[in-house]
Amino acid sequence: MKKTNIALIVVLITTLTGCGWLGLRDRTNDYLLAEETEPTVIPGEMRTAQGTQLGQAYPIPAIPTTSVEIEGFEVPRPQSASVNTFEQLVKIQSVDGRRWVLINISPSESWPRVRNLLNRNGIPSAMAEGSSGIIETVWVTFNSDEENSHRFRFSIAPGVQIDSTEISALHQQVARGSEEQAQWPEASDSDTRELDMLTVVANDLAAAGNFASVSLLAQKIGGEAKVEVVTPEAADPYILVKLGFDRSWASISYSADRGGFTTVDQNRTEAVMYVNYTEPVEEEEGFFSGWFGGDSKDKVLETNYMILVQPVGADVEVRIVGANGESLGQAESLRLLKVLRLNMS
């Protein structure tokens, strides 16, 4: 009897505690009462030319009014993970006479890593501007060069690949004693020293196993994203690439062989890629499928889509149309563009 009474008392106390008994208020739904607050404003005497207020701590991206997703009710299947997600984390790339370090983490994570690297190697920063993603070092000397002084300018910007960073370096050297009159050149004075510095940065980033440090004060380091999917109100969607044609073509060509796409043919002069897109199959083939079903690798792929890479001013617009150039409609175009965007690098 005593055991029964004790059990009833425990159940009663547990129930009452969940309802706020003993002064313990249930805060489960408190988030529903949260109100939006204005961004923190910097006092006038502390304002700079770069901005007058801090950014949002947790920015919410705007939803386009013409978005296809909010017009339909069919829940799409989840996008597969990008092929780039499983590739090398850090590598040096070079396209169109430009060289940079590519790393698969955001600029806000890369920024403190690069600054820490410079500090550990005794190279103080003369200027560090998060809004533009620029870090300029002080003048330094090398034991192998007793006549000149050297400095580097690092540019940290969002990469083409999703959640990635591109780190480039500019090298300058001048005769000792003439540092004050020096102006940054358009290209590095020494291509070898530029490559050596980028190699040091790449090796340091590759050796680090923890990228937990994040710069919360510079969430938009290096400016806006270089690539975005645009959904016009009265036209089919397209990918806007804020880069030159050569770099854009190389990135689209790389992606056109991944994520279900296969390049059948391409004409760079006409800026057209002829591709075949097949939904990736997740199920493994059976043991006897190779005996009786034939080898899928031996099948001749036919073009079922075309990728148009069109220069528009300083940018490039990428569209996907049917095999005969016909429009696919917003829903189909957007679905394929997202797959193509996911594997751009």
Q: What is the pLDDT of residues 226-235, one digit of tens each?
A: 899 998 887 8
Q: Average pLDDT of 171-188?
A: 92
Note whether 169 and 198 are within 8 A (CB). Answer: yes
Q: Which of 78-82, 119-123, 302-306 has the lowest mean pLDDT?
A: 78-82
How far is the C-alpha of 257 from the C-alpha of 261, rounded, in Å? 5
CA 238 to chain centre: 18
Which of 50-64, 170-184, 203-217, 324-338 is least confident? 50-64
pLDDT 10s digits, 45-66? 666 555 555 566 666 766 655 5
Q: Give the model's pLDDT for residue 146.
A: 87
Over residues 299-320, the mean pLDDT reads 90
* Angstrom distance (rounded) from CA 263 to CA 249: 13
The two tokens of residue 223 are 């400016």
Domain ranges of the chain: 96-207, 227-280+296-342
Q: Which residues of 8-18 are buried (b: 16+ CB within 10 A; e: fewer)?
A: eeeeeeeeeee
| Predicted local distance difference test score (pLDDT) of residue 15 | 54
CA distance 179 to 151: 10
Residue 238 has pLDDT above 80, yes or no: yes
**pLDDT value of position 46:** 67
Asked, colleague to colleague, whether 96-207 and 227-280+296-342 share their fold, the answer is no
Mean pLDDT of 207-218: 58
Nearest-angstrom CA–CA distance, 114 and 130: 12
* Range from 18-32, 137-151, 248-262 carrying the lowest mean pLDDT: 18-32
Answer CATH for 96-207 from 3.30.530.50, 3.40.50.970, 3.40.720.10, 3.40.1670.10: 3.30.530.50
Number of H helices, E strands in the chain: 6, 13
| Tally of CA atoms within 13 A in the half-sphere of 324 that contains its CB | 1
The span from the CA of 149 to the CA of 178, in Å, is 9
> Which pLDDT value is given to residue 219?
59
Distance CA 218, CA 221 (A): 5
And the tokens for 33?
């009462």
**Residue in 328, 339, 329, 330 with CA at minimum distance from that of residue 305:** 328
pTM exceeds 0.75, yes or no:
no
The CATH architecture to which 227-280+296-342 belongs is: 2-Layer Sandwich (3.30)
Flag whether pLDDT at 322 surpasses 90: yes
pLDDT at 93 (0 to 100): 87
Residue 198 has pLDDT above 60, yes or no: yes
Average pLDDT over residues 147-171: 92
pLDDT > 60? residue 333: yes
**292 vs 256 pLDDT, higher one:** 256
Q: What is the mean pLDDT of residues 115-120?
A: 88
Greatest Cα-to-Cα distance within the chain, rounded to the nearest angstrom: 97
- Higher-pLDDT residue of 154, 300: 154
Rg of the chain over all Cα atoms, to the nearest angstrom = 27
Residue at 255: amino acid letter: S
294 pLDDT exceeds 80? Answer: no
Using alpha carbons, select from 171, 242, 179 the residue that is nearest to residue 201: 171
CA 201 to chain CA centroid, Å, is: 19
Taking alpha carbons only, the member of 166, 26, 187 closest to residue 103 is: 166
E runs forming strands in the chain: 90-95, 98-103, 125-129, 134-137, 140-142, 145-158, 165-175, 227-230, 238-241, 261-267, 272-277, 305-312, 315-322
Tokens 């149309």 map to which residue?
321
**SS3 call for 144:** coil
pLDDT bin (cut points 50, 70, 90) of residue 80 is: low
